[in-house]
Chain A
Amino acid sequence: MILKKVRIENFKQFNGAHEIEFNADGKLTIVYGFNGYGKTRLHSFFHWLFYGQDRDNEIIYNKPAMKSMFSGDEITVQGELTFEHEGKDHVMYRYESFKKTDSRAFKSDSNFKIRRVDQHGNHRFVDNPGDYIEDILPSELSEYFFFDGEGMASELQGDKTSRNHKNLKEAVNTIFGLKLYENAIRDIGSMRRKNNAIYELSKRQKGTRDDKNPETLRHYSNKKSEEKDTIDADIEQISSELSSLRRRNRELSEKIGNKDTANTLNKHRASLHRENEGLEKSQNEKIDNVGKLVGENLSYYIVAQNIKKVQNLISKKVEENYVSGVDSKLIKNLLEQDSCICGNKIGKEERTKFEKILHMLPPHSYSSIFYDYKREAEDKLSNSDEAMETIRNTVKELAQIENQISENENEIDRIDEKLRETKDLERFVAERKENEQKIHELEKKKAEKERKSSHCETIIKATERKLKDLLKNDKHNKELNDKITFLEEVRDSLQKEYEEKRELYKKELEKNIRTMVKRMLSARRHIELNDNYTLSISDSYDSTSLSKGQASVISFAYIGGVLNSLKNMDVEYVSKKYPLILDAPISHLDSDHIDRVFQHLPGFSNQIIIFSKENIDKQVEADDNTKKYVILSNEEANQAAIKPYASSKYFVDETHRRLN
């Protein structure tokens, strides 16, 4: 089915007539509309047009228009869709008229027709247009092709608060053609249930002995079958719970099996901690010694060049002033004398000279000064080399200690990481234990149910045997029995084929959904498709939580997976061309995910129609042939019109989206 053109008239806020031409060649059609402008109502218009029901159970006519009419006037809500199906053009037309009275409006007329253009170009009305459209696009699938991104997200995860997810199973089975098998198997039925072929045949068999009424036996067999069905449903539920608990416990056991115990880790950690404390102490001692070495020994070493200068200076002075035997005591003594030891008189001039010499002399002679200075320098400089070597070694040792401390700290970090995992581990162990308890209880419960089911089965079989015995000698009954046996064989054969196909399609669908999720979702998620076609989604931390955006992406991936599966399957009796009409599916997506989704969306279907409040011009800019429309609205949002999209001003300037 390829949609070509739709005309909408007086449907809800779309007062008057509006038209949208769709891209029918695999390109996109986009309808932009702000919140409250009528996107969702336009979306639900398609549902009404196809199936005659408003999904939201609202009044479908334009209320302001009705308000302005006089009593007795009529308003007609109509829609016309031109589409192609199996190479033939069709026009689908639906209308509902409403007549205004003083107090209310009531539906006065309605019609639904489909015209098909035959090979000669003649238009012919199809018989039973409702059935015809059901064949093309079954109403139970409509939700998945009139795609509501948000609503579907919770349904896919089997959220019991969402719309009944049984719909999902029905829908997917219908798409894959499995519904035909289910219907056939159900219709052939068995003697155990009412309203099926075998039961009806069985009912026609008549009893030959008065004391055993076949009706009583049939009734008893049916009652027991119903009881067994209930028990079997419980068993299925318990089995599903058991399977999920066992799967979880296998995962937990894998996680638990690889971990060191907390006790061992803590011991190792404590020993590393102690070692580091010792190392830090030694580090501090070594560091502590350095300052002292510098202060007490290395000052000489640093001022070596000055020592050399001083040495030269003192040497010079020693040479200049060195007079053997002359010291301050001698000069002081001479100054106290009147004459020198040589006999010459010490006059004023000599006395001044002696005083000058005395003034120049230190308490000790220059040679002794030199000796003291030399000894000090000699002592200290000889120690300096040793001190400097100690510092060099200290630096090396400190680097080694530092490395060791750092290695130990890294190891402690690794242990802490493991210990954090160990905390999870404790949680895992507790969860596993709890699960084991649950498994034990469920197994007991299941065994009890199985015993009851088996008991029921024995009774049913015995009753059926009795019934057959009761009826076997009669020719009429024998013929009926042959028919029943034939139908049972057909049923069993269909059942076998159904189960094989279902398993195959489920695997194919799961594979395709996983591929789509991998392509479209930036975060990694593990996807499992359950028997009811809901998804079990988890990340590497076993968390099943998803953001709204992620849930929307997964909805896209699911639809993509379903459509891709259809393309790859050899399902002759299923129409593989479905239009995809998406309502506001990208509200929660960030730009990266919008890009990813739009990269893959065109491959989903031959025809995609998107209703969006977000500007997605960028994502479709490479495609010049995208058809775009906008919904304009008045301030009260009760009147709307559909116009071709002119520019992105629609998104930034309110005047460009207001209905005059």
Chain B
Amino acid sequence: MEFTQDIIYKTDQRYVFDRLQHNKVFSRFIDLLIFSISIGIVYDERREVLGEERIEIARNTLMQPRLRKALNFLFQTAVLTNEDLSKIYDDDTRMQLAFDDDFKVENFDRLQFLLEFAPFGLDMIEERVLHDNPGTAIDNLEEFLEELFQEDLSQDIMADIIGQDIDMD
């Protein structure tokens, strides 16, 4: 997934970011956005981004390797695990969508698709994390992350990935 321009995120949930930014818990929107998208992906909840309040993420921010890679990875993961998309496209098409930037499908906007996981994530963050006191917000965040994190599964994945012997061409 390539980022050729700034992201302009038009939302009615800007206050979530504003309050967390005021707390200094999330001083960059990109971090909050990635966190929200991750939550949306894991719950497989996607909805249209609606609203008039703009939050812009500059292209040079998106070009930072760690962020770009994270967004790309999340896109690939989302395309290959989203239930709705699996009903429309077969595995091969989704593989191509995930890994071949040149591959085009009519009416499918990669960035739009990825951003649609954010609103649900922001809802969850508002419900579970948001607090005007930074200390409390951080406590809430940790608690929420502990719930999201399935340590056993993560260890399992690591073992699989590292231990699998695959022929390379």
Instruction: Using CB atoms and an 8 Å cutoff, list the residues of chain A in contact with chain B.
Output: 283-284, 287-288, 290-292, 294-296, 298-311, 313-318, 322, 324-325, 327, 360, 362-374, 376-378, 380-382, 384-385, 388, 391-392, 394-395, 398-399, 402
Contact = CB atoms under 8 A, between A and B. Distances in A.
A290 B25 contact: yes
27 contacts: A284-B24, A291-B24, A291-B32, A292-B28, A292-B31, A294-B34, A294-B141, A299-B38, A302-B42, A303-B42, A304-B149, A305-B150, A305-B153, A306-B77, A306-B80, A307-B77, A317-B92, A327-B169, A368-B168, A368-B169, A369-B95, A369-B99, A371-B168, A378-B158, A380-B70, A395-B139, A399-B139
A372 B69 CA distance: 11
Size class of the B contact interface (CB-based, 8 Å): 35 or more
B34 A295 contact: yes
Contacts of B95: 313-314, 317, 362, 366, 369
A378 B164 CA distance: 12
B8 interface: no
Nearest to A308: B157
Given A294-B145, A317-B91, A394-B138, A302 B38 contact: yes
Given A309-B81, A380-B70, 10 more contacts: A291-B32, A295-B26, A295-B30, A301-B149, A308-B153, A327-B169, A362-B103, A363-B102, A381-B154, A391-B141
A296 B32 CA distance: 10
A378 B162 contact: yes
A301 B78 CA distance: 14
B13 interface: no
Contact of B135 (A288, A317, A391, A402): A402
Contact of B42 (A305, A322, A360): A305
Contacts of B33: 295
B161 interface: yes
Given A327-B169, A368-B168, A378-B162, A399 B135 contact: yes
B35 A398 contact: no
Contacts of A395: 138-139, 142
Contacts of A318: 166
Contact of A288 (B24, B38, B42): B24
B166 to A, nearest CB: 6
Interface in B127-169: 134-135, 138-139, 141-142, 145, 148-150, 153-154, 156-158, 160-162, 164, 166-169
B30 A377 contact: no
Contacts of B35: 294-295, 298-299, 302
Contacts of B26: 290-291, 294-295
Given A317-B91, A388-B149, A391-B145, A362 B100 contact: yes
Closest 5 CB pairs of A and B: A295-B31, A291-B26, A302-B38, A299-B38, A291-B31
A366 B153 CA distance: 24
Interface in B25-77: 25-28, 30-35, 37-39, 41-42, 66-67, 69-70, 73-74, 76-77
Given A302-B38, A363-B100, A370 B141 contact: no
B15 to A, nearest CB: 16
B70 A382 contact: no
Nearest to A307: B157
A367 B164 contact: no
Contacts of B134: 283, 287, 398
Given A377-B73, A394-B138, A308 B166 contact: no
A375 B102 CA distance: 22
Contacts of B73: 299-300, 373, 376-377, 380
Nearest to B39: A302
Contacts of A295: 26, 28, 30-35, 67, 70
A276 B141 CA distance: 24
Nearest to B148: A302
Interface string B111-123: 0000000000000
Contacts of B142: 391-392, 395
B contacts with A: majority SS: helix
B11 interface: no
Given A291-B32, A302-B149, A388-B149, A382 B158 contact: yes
A395 B149 CA distance: 17
Contacts of B135: 283, 398-399, 402
A298 B148 CA distance: 10
A299 B74 contact: yes
A307 B81 CA distance: 9
Contacts of A325: 169
A372 B99 CA distance: 10
Given A284-B24, A364-B99, A303 B77 contact: yes
Contacts of B38: 298-299, 302-303
A324 B156 contact: no
Interface centre among A287, A292, A309, A378 (most CB of B within 10 A): A287
Given A300-B73, A377-B161, A313 B23 contact: no
Contact of A313 (B41, B91, B162): B91
A362 B150 CA distance: 32
B27 A362 contact: no
A346 B28 CA distance: 57
Contact of B76 (A310, A378, A399): A310
A381 B77 CA distance: 14
Contacts of A363: 99-100, 102
Contacts of A310: 76-77, 80-81
B95 to A, nearest CB: 6
Nearest to B133: A402
B7 to A, nearest CB: 14
Given A377-B73, A399-B135, A304 B28 contact: no
Interface in B76-110: 76-78, 80-81, 91-92, 95-96, 99-100, 102-103
Contacts of A385: 154
A394 B141 CA distance: 11
A382 B155 CA distance: 9
Nearest to A301: B149
A478 B77 CA distance: 135
B103 to A, nearest CB: 8
Nearest to A302: B38
A369 B77 CA distance: 13
Given A291-B20, A299-B38, A302-B38, A388 B145 contact: yes
A373 B28 contact: no
A291 B92 contact: no
Nearest to A365: B169
A377 B156 CA distance: 12
Contacts of A360: 92
A306 B91 CA distance: 15
A401 to B, nearest CB: 8
B26 to A, nearest CB: 4
A301 B153 CA distance: 10
